[in-house]
Amino acid sequence: MEASEKPQLPLDAPDGGGVVRALDDRLVIERLTVADDRAARVVRERAESGRAPADTVVKAIEIGTRVLDSEETAANVDYVRHELEAGLGRLRSQLGDTLEDGAKTIGEQIAAVFGAERTDSVQAQIRDIVVARSQEQMEALMRSLTAEDSSNPLVAVQARLGKAMLEAEQRHRQEVERLREAYSKEARALQAQLGSVREEMTRLVEREAGDARVAAAEAAGTRKGFSFEERVHEALEGIASARGDVAVHTGGETAEGGGKKGDTLVEIGACGGPAQGRIVFEAKDKRLSKNDAWAELNEGMATRAASFAVLVVAGEEKVPAGREQLHEYEGNKLIVAVDRDEPRGLPLEVAYRLAAARVAMARDRELTVDAVAVRDAAQEAVSTLKQAQAIRSTLTGIKTSSDKARAGLDAMVAAVQARLDRIDSLVAEAESETAGD
């Protein structure tokens, strides 16, 4: 296989540098490090925008080579023009000096032979003829060198130089135009990317604003606190299933007699047979006035055919003014405050059991239930529950929990459970005595 006839660069690398080889129309660079902040920054920024570093380096070499080639061409043209003008000046000077010296020498020699002192002698005439002829030749030469037609030997050189300069200028303009188009294309691509980023940011901002509006609407009660309502129902359903009761979510259903009041309906003992009583629970994530609260509970009991109603509110600050939680009103109403995000807990279970006990007592007037004992147990449960809630609130603000406080809290919770079990046992004893009779 024959080697390329084009000149190649030597393969030996300089000390401390890389290897650069020019093979035909290709340039191969190996292990070459370029220490230039601007070049490194441009390659890095274009790589971050998704352009291959090798493509950026190749483009930089191509552009730099064209610029260098254009600059060298212009420098060569200027150099040739300068040398030509200097050469013409030296030629003019040398020709003038040479002709004058020659004429003078010839005249002196003729004068030495034929008597140069005589102005009308042959020698003087010959000298005048030589001087005149030399002057004519000098003027003819100057006219030839300054002529603009083909008789001037410098016209061809000037034409070639002018053509080279025009070609260099044209290549320079083409390269500038190509670079301008490339930069314009890059600018349009960047503008398109910026437009996409702006649109995405706008969508994100609108989405966050929408989420904020939804949260504000839920906090203001415009959605009826439906998510809080669902969490309360889930907690009630867990309590009911453990006791053999049935809890039905009725917040979005219309009752047989019309109306949608009452979010959760609990049917006592419905898992083992006919329901022995009904309790309606109304969940509210906003604070109602006493009149509005009583209207909600009375309408809920009428709509769902229930004998007892419980208002479940999201936090103590939402208890109606002038009313207390876990306190029975009018013999068929109760208010309980629970945690908004986690309503499942002891307060809701206490309200549930108290309401179930009252329904059982009101269901059968013949039941011999120790009402005083039930009332005392309920009051003790409520009092202990309030103490437990106070301790729990204190523990919430303390990062390092106290073992002693937790032990006391657990004991109080156990005491509440014991009081609730006592209420259930009293009701059960009364029901068994009635069945025996």
pLDDT, one tens digit per residue, over 76-104 is: 666 656 666 776 676 666 666 665 666 66
Extended beta strands in 35-114, E state? none
- Asked if residue 431 has pLDDT above 50, the reply is yes
Domain with 24 in it: 1-32
Element (H, E) at 288: none
**246 shares a domain with 287:** yes
**397 shares a domain with 377:** yes
Give the phi and the psi of residue 280 in degrees, each rounded to 5.
-110, 135
DSSP letter for each residue of 296-356:
HHHHHHHHHT-SEEEEEEESGGGSPTT--TT--BTTTEEEEEE-SS---SHHHHHHHHHHH
| DSSP class of 12 | P
**396 shares a domain with 347:** no
pLDDT of residue 297: 92
Q: Report if residue 212 sits inside a domain.
A: no
Q: How confident is the model at residue 361 (pLDDT cuts 50, 70, 90)?
A: confident
**Contact of 324 with 350, CB cutoff 8 Å:** no
Q: How confident is the model at residue 178 (pLDDT cuts 50, 70, 90)?
A: confident
Q: What mean pLDDT comes out for the span 398-408?
A: 65
Q: How confident is the model at residue 161 (pLDDT cuts 50, 70, 90)?
A: confident
Secondary structure class of 266 (helix, strand, coil)? strand
**381 shares a domain with 359:** no
At residue 41's C-alpha, the angle toward residues 38 and 44, to 5°, is 150
Which of 329, 345, 365 corresponds to the end of one domain?
A: 365
**398 shares a domain with 342:** no
Q: Report if residue 5 sits inside a domain.
A: yes
**38 shares a domain with 2:** no
In this structure, the strands spanning 264-267 and 246-249 are: antiparallel
Give residue-wise pLDDT tens across range 256-272.
555 667 789 999 988 88
Give residue-wise pLDDT tens across range 277-310.
999 999 999 999 999 999 999 999 998 889 999 9
Question: Which of 224, 293, 233, 304 has its CA nearest to residue 262?
Answer: 304
- Please tell me the total count of domains within the chain: 4
Among 118-127, 382-391, 424-433, which stretch is predicted with the lowest mean pLDDT? 118-127
**162 shares a domain with 112:** yes
**66 shares a domain with 13:** no
**328 shares a domain with 412:** no
Strands across the sheet containing 308-314: 246-249, 264-267, 278-284, 308-314, 333-338
Higher pLDDT pick, 225 / 305:
305
pTM beyond 0.75: the answer is no
CA separation for the pair 147, 100 (Å, rounded): 23
Q: What mean pLDDT comes out for the span 378-407?
A: 66
